[in-house]
Amino acid sequence: MTWTMRVDWPSCAARGLCAELLPERIHLDEWGFPVVEGTVTPDLLGLAKAAATACPHRALRLVSAG
């Protein structure tokens, strides 16, 4: 099973905490919204879970990518 991160845009406050916690897969666009790149590989699963948990607006989820 592979995983990716999904952003709930209406809930996201564009402060960028997730990009600090998971820079391997998330960077910020010019407005500060997170851009997710690629899937979450097993070695990044712990960091991805931590980033989702740390999101202060519950706008970031770890979801199955198939």
Question: How far out from the chain centre does Cα 45 lie?
Answer: 11
Q: Determine if 15 is a binding residue for ligand SF4 (CB under 6 A).
A: yes
In the complex, the smallest distance separating the C-beta of residue 48 from ligand SF4, rounded to whole angstroms, is 12
State the nearest-atom distance from the C-beta of 50 to ligand SF4, in Å: 11
Q: Helical H runs in the chain?
A: 17-21, 45-54
By CB under 6 A, residue 47 contacts ligand SF4: no
Instruction: Work out whether 34 is an interface residue with ligand SF4 (CB under 6 A).
Output: yes
Please give the radius of gyration of the chain, using alpha carbons only, rounded to the nearest integer. Answer: 11
